[in-house]
Amino acid sequence: MTVYALKPAFQTLLRPVAAGMVRRNWTANRITAAGFITATLTGAVFAAGAASRQWLVLVPILLLARMGLNALDGIVAREYGQATARGRINNEVADVMGDAIAYLPVMVLLPDRATLVAAVVVLAMIAEFVAVLDPAARRNDGPFGKSDRAVAFGLLAVLVATGVSGFWMSLVLGAMVAAALLTISNRVREQI
């Protein structure tokens, strides 16, 4: 079970929003760009959290907004005839680069756990690369897909904001590394 399993219900909730955005001349590519900007803001908030932990309460909100934008760009592309090869590439690149920009600043927040943070981000990038190797179908196998990472990093922000640190952060990040490795394995296995 992953957060991705909730995507159909999430998309149903967002369809009226997508219709409104299309009426206001939002394209799928503009929504993808907005998601990337939201990822950039998330990274900035993580970095600001090193100086003042109160900023970290914004992280779950920004990550939820990013997940919404990621769902909306797909809805608009598919359901409003805006799907293009260039848009698909833009979406995949924005997702992978957005993850790196959003999550690498956690190294500033947790400098003593920087290696674990970097490992999570690199493994997430590999998982997303593996996901698109099959041109016929994108793999979304978990347990640590894009939405799951958003939930995990949102939880991490809340934990740090409430003063959890040290060994517990190593445990959380270690679990994220293990989940990312399992995700890569699952996605490779499903394609061979």
What does the pLDDT look like over 3-40, one tens digit per residue? 878 888 999 999 999 999 999 999 999 999 999 999 99
Q: What does the pLDDT read at residue 137?
A: 84
Question: What is the CB neighbour count within 10 angstroms for residue 5?
Answer: 11
What does the pLDDT look like over 165-189, one tens digit per residue? 889 999 999 999 999 999 999 999 9
Q: What does the pLDDT read at residue 3?
A: 84
What does the pLDDT look like over 142-172, one tens digit per residue? 999 999 999 999 999 999 999 998 899 999 9
Q: What does the pLDDT read at residue 1?
A: 64
**Residue (of 60, 70, 52) closest to 4 by Cα position:** 70
Q: How many helices (H) and strands (E) does the chain have?
A: 8, 0
